[in-house]
Copies of this chain bind each other. A is one copy, B any other.
C-alpha cells in the first residue's frame, strides 16, 4: 500500500512549465512509469491529496491526471480500493526484423525504368502547384470522383489525342497511382468478369505478371520475333498486355500487321488489349507511332504514366477505358479516388499551360544525346556488341556475343555498375530462343553521373 509518492520510488521528472502544463507533464510521467514497468501492475497509487502534497501542486491536477490515465486504461479506479496500476502486463514492442539492405549501394546505375530524376522540373512544378491550388474550388479538397479530378481528365483527353492519337473523352479516363495500380484494377476487373488468363509478352517486367497472377490470372507468354510479339496463339484469354509503341525491353515497335491482328482478335473474341504506353513520348528519329488504342477504343485500354516523362514518385498514371468498362473499373478501384488531388490539379495545370510539352521536349533532347553517345561508344569500343531497337525511350538493348551475358552482368556488379541482363526480363515460359543482351537504362543517371556510368559500361563490355 503506497500512500505517498516517496514510497513508490519513482522519479517523475516533472517539467513544471512543459508544453501541456503540469497536468500533461504528470500524466505523461505516470504513463511512462507504467509502460516501462517501473510501476508494476496492481500497484496502488497514493491518493491525489497525498501526491499533490508531495509534489507541491494542486490536488485537482493530480485527480485529473489520474482520470486521464484511467480513461486510457493504464490505471483503474474502484470505489473502496483507490487508484491502481491496471492489472495487465504491457509488453514492449518486439524488435523489428533487420531490413534486407544491400551491403553497398552500386556506384552507377543503368537499371531501366526510371528517368533522370535530377532533371525533374521542381521550380516549374511548384509554380504550377501554386496556380492550381489558387484556382481550385475548396470542395476540390474533399472526397472526389473516384475516376480522379475532372481538370486532369480533361487535360489528358486533349493531350493524349494530340500527342498519342488516343481517342477518348474525359469521362472515360481514370486516374491511377501509376501503372501498377492500373494493372491491379484491370486484373480485378478481368477476374470479376470471369477471365482466367491474360497473355503477356515473352519479355517484360516480372512485377507486372506477378500483379496479374495475384488477381488469380494465369499469364501465358506470346512468342516474340523480328516483327515484335506474335498475337497468333491468342485464343480465349481475357486480355493481352502489350507495349506496342516500343516493346519493353526489346525496343521494337509492333509491326502494323500485328497491330491489326491483335485488334481483330479482340473484336472476334471479346477480349481486351491492355496497351502499356510507358514511354510513348520519347521517339528521336521520327514522329512516334500513334497509340494502338486509336484503332479501336472499344476494345483497347490505353495505359499511360507520368513515371517516365516526369517522375515515378508522383505516383500518377491514367487509363483511357472503353466506356462500357467504366463502371467495373471504378468498382475495382474501390469507389474512392486514391490519388492526391493536389498533384492531380498540378499535373492538369502543367499539361494545359504547355509546361509538360516543354519538359518532354527538353527531356527528349537529353535522352537522344545519351542514346547517341551510347551507340557511338559501343561502336568504337565493342564492335562485337550491337545497339538494337528503335531510337526511342529511356533504354537500349545491347546484343552481346552468345554466352557472354552472365559474365558481363557479373563484371558490372564487381565494378559497382547496376544493370539488367535480358534474362532477368524474360518470361519463364518464353519459347523464343534465348538471347544474350543487356538492357541499358541510359535515362536513369543524372547528367553529372551519366559520363561515369557510360565509361563503366564500356569497361565491362566484351
Interface residues in chain A, defined as those with a beta carbon under 8 Å from any beta carbon in chain B: 20, 23-24, 27, 31, 35, 64, 68, 70-74, 76, 86, 88, 90-91, 93-97, 99, 113-114, 117-118, 120, 122, 125-126, 129-130, 133-134, 138-144, 165, 167-169, 171-172, 177-178, 180-181, 184, 207, 211, 214, 253, 256, 259-260, 263-264, 286-287, 289-290, 292, 294-298, 307, 311-316, 322-324, 326-327, 334-343, 446
Contacts and interface: CB of A to CB of B under 8 A. Distances in A.
Contacts of A76: 256, 260
A72 B165 CA distance: 9
Nearest to A72: B290
A297 B446 contact: no
Contact of A180 (B313, B326, B336): B336
B315 A339 contact: yes
A168 B68 contact: no
A118 B138 contact: yes
Contact of A93 (B35, B138, B168, B287): B168
A128 to B, nearest CB: 11
B297 A338 contact: no
A73 B323 contact: no
Contacts of A72: 165, 256, 259, 289-290, 294-295
Given A68-B287, A97-B323, A316-B340, A86 B260 contact: yes
Contacts of A259: 72-73
Report the copy number of this chain in the oligomer.
Answer: 2
A341 B323 contact: no
Given A68-B287, A73-B256, A296-B91, A341 B315 contact: yes
A256 B91 contact: no
Contacts of A313: 140-144, 340-342
A44 to B, nearest CB: 17
15 contacts: A31-B165, A31-B290, A68-B290, A71-B253, A72-B165, A72-B289, A72-B294, A76-B256, A93-B322, A95-B323, A96-B323, A96-B326, A97-B323, A117-B138, A118-B138
Given A99-B171, A180-B336, A133 B144 contact: no
B296 A90 contact: yes
B184 A334 contact: yes
B341 A314 contact: yes
